[in-house]
Structure 1
Amino acid sequence: MYSKLKETIEEISNIEVSQERKDVLQPLVDFIEQKSKENATIRLNFICTHNSRRSHLTQVWAQAMALHFNIKNVFCFSGGTEATAMFPKVAETLQNQGFQIQKLSESGNPVYAVKYNENAHPIICFSKKYDDVFNPESNFAAIMTCSQADGGCPFIAGAEKRIPITYEDPKAFDGTNLMDEKYAERSLEIASEMFYVFSQIKK
């Protein structure tokens, strides 16, 4: 894993996760642990409205934490109730926190390769609907990362489990002098919670 990313993980390992949030995260812990015990493939699809900010942050951090805690067979995806584009500040924030990011296309919905380890396959990030062919069709957990998607999608076809783990949208600070700070803050909050989730998996 890249040294700067290791430093960020060391930093977020000291962030306290409240009991209230631990209770929210427990169904995800249970899902991953059960699959791990069965030596089954663990597919996680993180879903928000536009697949532009929170769903990508959770996808990327969950995949990195699976490696950090050596949890095998974890494959993380993301999607939205509609496709837009991954917001550029998300890529910038993740790069500042230690990921290596390459922009693969310059379209209105650009594709990014996000690497967290020298020898691991990069995470491919672009905005898509949650049921896009790029994502799994069945045998996955649908993690709802925003209240709009959680309320608007009571049923996710093919999902074994539907788990609401919602976050505040950093979009509220777009164009303000707090923008960089708030995107970094939200990313680290998500990172600390994904750290907690994967730290609970018994190998």
Structure 2
Amino acid sequence: MSKTNLYPALIEKLEDLKSLKVSLERKEVLKPLIEFIQKEKNEGNSIQLNFICTHNSRRSQFGQVWAQAISDFYGIETNCYSGGTEETAFNQNAIDALNRAGFKIESASGENPQVQVQYSEDKSAMECYSKVYDAEENPSKNFAAVMTCSHADENCPFIPGSKDRIALDYSDPKKYDDTPLTREKYDERSDQIASEMIYVFENIE
């Protein structure tokens, strides 16, 4: 798979994010994800990642969107998905953070709208909305369940069909909703997840 040309604003964002240091502790947390992707690639298998949190509204959406864009940027064919233990809606603050990062976004109306997220002229927009992790459009087998919050990790001890279960656990920016820190904290979480996905895919041979 050839590398995908991202929008210029996103390429600039990725270059900025490379300056964020991934701690030794987080590198250990990310190691199983790197190993899963590398093993699937080496064996010629389809790489499938399903990012899972409780509501599929913030962290798992960040995970899916950033991992898809970054894996394409590095030319590593990966299919990224997301889901929750329950269905709610893709949070507007998370959508806004991705928009500020350089993604082009169009959102329909409704309680749980389809959100079109695009990162390249060469790729179709991702259709993102809140859904349960075993929704019909998500893989039912041969995927890694990437648990992005401790609540989902603790309450879903078994994810049917998953080849591997990888706990990353990111702090929830939801606690800063409707505060003066909303924008800062959502950008912070988006940036952290993006920088860690850069680290992951830079370490795939």
TM-score (norm: length of structure 1): 0.97
SS across alignment from 2:200:
helix
- Aligned partner of 1:123 in structure 2 is 126
Q: Tell me the distance in 2 between the aligned counterparts of 1:201 and 1:101.
A: 29
Is 1:77 paired with 2:81?
A: yes
SS across alignment from 1:6:
helix
Q: State how 1:172-187 maps to structure 2 within 5 Å.
A: 172-187=175-190
Q: Tell me the distance in 2 between the aligned counterparts of 1:191 and 1:101.
A: 17
Q: Tell me the distance in 2 between the aligned counterparts of 1:129 and 1:55.
A: 11
- Deviation, 1:113, is 1.1
- Aligned partner of 2:59 in structure 1 is 54
Q: Tell me the distance in 1 between the aligned counterparts of 2:150 and 2:95.
A: 23
Q: Tell me the distance in 2 between the aligned counterparts of 1:162 and 1:79.
A: 14
- Aligned partner of 2:197 in structure 1 is 194
| C-alpha RMSD over aligned residues | 0.7
Stretches of structure 1 that go unaligned for 5 or more consecutive residues are none
SS across alignment from 1:161:
strand
- Deviation, 1:39, is 2.1
Q: Tell me the distance in 1 between the aligned counterparts of 2:172 and 2:131.
A: 18
SS across alignment from 2:33:
helix
Q: Tell me the distance in 1 between the aligned counterparts of 2:172 and 2:129.
A: 18
Q: Tell me the distance in 2 between the aligned counterparts of 1:141 and 1:43.
A: 6
- Alpha-carbon deviations, 1:159-202, whole Å to 9, x = none? 00000001000001000001001100110010000000000000
Is 1:2 paired with 2:7?
A: yes
TM-score (norm: length of structure 2): 0.96
- Aligned partner of 1:142 in structure 2 is 145
* Residue 101 (structure 1) aligned to one of 94, 105, 130: 105
Q: Tell me the distance in 2 between the aligned counterparts of 1:8 and 1:82.
A: 32
Q: Tell me the distance in 2 between the aligned counterparts of 1:61 and 1:46.
A: 11
Is 1:44 paired with 2:49?
A: yes
Percent identity between matched residues is 50
* Residue 63 (structure 1) aligned to one of 65, 68, 71: 68
Q: Residue type matched to 1:92 in 2?
A: D
- Deviation, 1:102, is 1.2
SS across alignment from 1:113:
strand
- Aligned partner of 1:151 in structure 2 is 154
- Deviation, 1:137, is 0.6
SS across alignment from 2:138:
coil
- Deviation, 1:156, is 0.1
- Deviation, 1:107, is 1.6
- Aligned partner of 2:21 in structure 1 is 16
Size of the aligned set, in residue pairs, is 200
Q: Tell me the distance in 2 between the aligned counterparts of 1:179 and 1:96.
A: 13
- Deviation, 1:3, is 0.6
